[in-house]
Amino acid sequence: MIVVLIGYMASGKSTLGRILAKKLNYDFIDLDDYIEEKELLSISDIFKSKGEIYFRKVETVYLKELLEHKTKLVLSLGGGTPCYSNNMDLLRNLPHIKSIYLKASIPTLVTRLKKEKSKRPLIAHIETDELLTEFIGKHLFERSQFYSLSDVTITSDNKTEDDIIEELVLELF
């Protein structure tokens, strides 16, 4: 089985993915890290030098590569991955995939993201909490139709990592 974690930036996909993989004795791969390794460029450098269209194409190529050649894997997707190139259809049509949407509220995401804005090129330029809230709200509105196609939705607000991991394991087995 491949467990695919879906959700917005700072929803906990990578952090929880690593913990879950260790608990299940699965491999863990963050798709963005995998792309950077394969392309020998950071995600922000790929966007700057080759553009978003190029990035979205290679993102799908590498997603398919991982889904076809791996088992016992926890895979964390980028926040936009489910929204492009029919990637959600791909996930939904493969029988060995279990997709999980880690859902966090806008206030939770704002709190988490304002601490790490400098590491997030998409939001680094946003100066106030009010503008960040508006940006996240707009993105979530656009992306929620894709995220909601996941097999399972787990809300992470006001829960510990241990609580969420326990909930994930119960949903999987």
User: Residue positions in the annotated binding site?
Assistant: 10-15, 32, 56, 79, 120, 143
C-alpha distances out from residue 76 to 2, 11, 141, Å:
11, 11, 21
Residue 33 to residue 5: CA distance in whole angstroms: 14
Residues in the annotated binding site for Mg(2+): 14
Binding site for substrate: what residues are annotated?
32, 56, 79, 143
CA distance 23 to 37: 25
Q: Residues at the annotated binding site for ATP?
A: 10-15, 120
